[in-house]
Structure 1
Amino acid sequence: MISLPSKLELSELIGSIYDCTLDPSLWETALAAIREMFLGESVLLSLNDLSRNRLLIDKSVGWEPQWRQARDRHLPEIHARLSEWLMETASLDAPFIASRHLPGGYEEHSPYVQEVLAPLGIADIMHLFLMQTPTSFSEIVIMRHRRNGHTTEREIELAALLLPHLRRAVTISRVLDAHAIERRRLAEALDALACGVVLTDEHGAILHPNRTAEKMLCAGGPLHHARGVLQARDPAAARELRTAIRLAAEDETAIGDAGLAVRLNAADEPPVFAHVLPMAGSGRRRNLRRDAVAAIFVGTAPDEQATAGAIARTFGLTQAETRLLASLLSGDTLKEASRSLDIASTTAKTHLASIFSKTGVSRQAELMRLAMRLQSPAQLESASEAEMQAHPHLPTL
């Protein structure tokens, strides 16, 4: 029988992960707790820029500076192996485990293994993927020393429990200026954000909308209020938001994927997503507003929409093909894309075959590489700079 941490231990760790969304300086504390729970030697949180082999987010515990610098020199090798895995695996939920997924004999010929991992006594590495776009991915990396042996089923099961919470924290951190909240009163800080933010109680009653959210609620868009209660016009989105708010009030450890990347509008419209952050699970979040149990962040789709649009214009894709392509570029499998777009799997396969024919590729991996090539160096530089300016709280290399 697999021995997992107690519910209290898991609850404390998940709470510390969510606290990082409001105070990024706490990531080292959360990563240290993850290292202890996974019997790891070191743990890293990173956002990897594949186009230029660099890190845009870089947090770690258990690494001395000279070894981190040595690892960074091997980023092209690391990115090549992980990109290959991401293109072949069916889901971002599947971890990459070196002892299980590297081909036989790879370690003996790998400069990274021989020059960095072997001298440190690292016997195994597990990568947990939090997000992926054509030019980047975010991950948690857990390294195990030879004295603790290879990754076991215990760590894999524990990773599955923590993954949705890590994914939620990183996703929301990308749209939240945490330093603004630290420096200002809550209402002023929320009003300064470009994304919409709504604080609610356990029944979904609106306690505070920031200025952007207030405009959304009055504009007749995908969100509105009925007698002061937050509502989504799409029935499926409304159900998921209610479920996520209820779980946020009852037990944030059980929220899982509920309320993460909730599509608020129709498939034939530019997508708008909502993300629910539990607020009552720790004093740090609860002190922002004592009666709030959830914060709902509302924003538009990420950059893969623009990438899909560029490919569509270049190769003459239809609107339906473009929507499918954007979903695939965001990291969805074909099955997940057909479900999110509310189309039959056979229809999705037909659209994909047409995309392959028009673009001259034969596999999704080639489609990803095409998406990267279509982004010019100037666009990549602009996107990277814009992201760092928009999120100055994110640590940089």
Structure 2
Amino acid sequence: MPKSIRDELSMMAAGARLGQAVVDPAAWLCVMEDICRAVGATGAIMVQSDVRPTNVLYTSTLTELGRGYVRDGWHLNDPRVARYLPRLVGGEPVITDLDLFTAEEVRREPYYTEFLIPNGFRWLGVVAFRAGSDLWRLSLQRTPNEGIFTPESKPALAELSRRLSDAATLSKAVSHAALTGCTNALNLVHLPALAIDRSGRVLDVNAAAEATFDHELRLQNRRLFISDQSASIALEQFVTRMRIVSETAFVPTNPILVRRRERPPVLIRVLPIEPAARSPFLGARALLLLTDLRKTRSIAPDLLMQTFGLTRAEAKLAALIGAGQPLEQAANQLSIAPLTARTQLKAVFAKTDTHRQGELVALLSRVHSLRTG
């Protein structure tokens, strides 16, 4: 353990790393590693404490411990979290094992004897901090050799709590400004857009998107409500994939075609959030662009024949699909059987290297934009 945790933390916090993390969210893992070195800990976990956690950051040294934590069910029955979480919510800035258990309880508690010690860990120091109004915690994990967090270390860790609160609050504000700047810029060019976090909660929406909404596509309880069941399932599957990947990973997905009974369909495209807006304390994970297909004119079949080598029958069908018509409606308009339309659509998919109607609509929309732009 360092001779003086206070001196080590002061040197770390006075340096450029915390300031860098305010404007560069990718630097927060480096901040956590710096703190671990300063306090003599092997690893750290950073997670929000006042809601069910969705954003979790941990140093690479805790990868295997984290896997076992979930695999063995300790995330459902962690006695340390059960004891310290109410105290963090109550306002305590720093909590250690000595605040939670007696020495005899530590010797007998299965969490220590069956999980932590066999994995090379034992001691905990929890530092609470705020990102705006949100309560977060930094859990510092020590091995048996690194020793317990003593009462003498708590004043220095309390100072760290204050410094983290300042940096996290600024980081969240900077990322929110970057996010709204992005959606506002898209609004200036009449592109409807909204940003969501990894749980699907809407963080920001521009005016162009609000103008696209109706009772079949709208915001409800800070989430995007879609009455089209297949589109709703596709969006939920995308959100589910976001929940299980790392914070820095982008989850690609096919465009989602939202059909509406009373208005033309909307196409949802998913884009990554720009790096400056990816603060862990804001949680933005994806930008959804909405294309209102009532504003998309049908593409001339001759252009599709020339571009993709479609037959005239395939090109006529593709043009109608590209304008947002359901397959059955397009078949009826072309006076062909639904089975014939499905066969022709398969041929269109093969020639355009697409696999779903949403992908085809997105491709034809780009072709139309290039042709008319």
Normalised by the shorter chain, which TM-score bucket? Answer: 0.3 to 0.5
Q: Which has the higher contact order (CA 8 A, sep 6+)?
A: 1
TM-score, normalization by structure 2: 0.43
Of the two, which has the highest radius of gyration?
Answer: 2
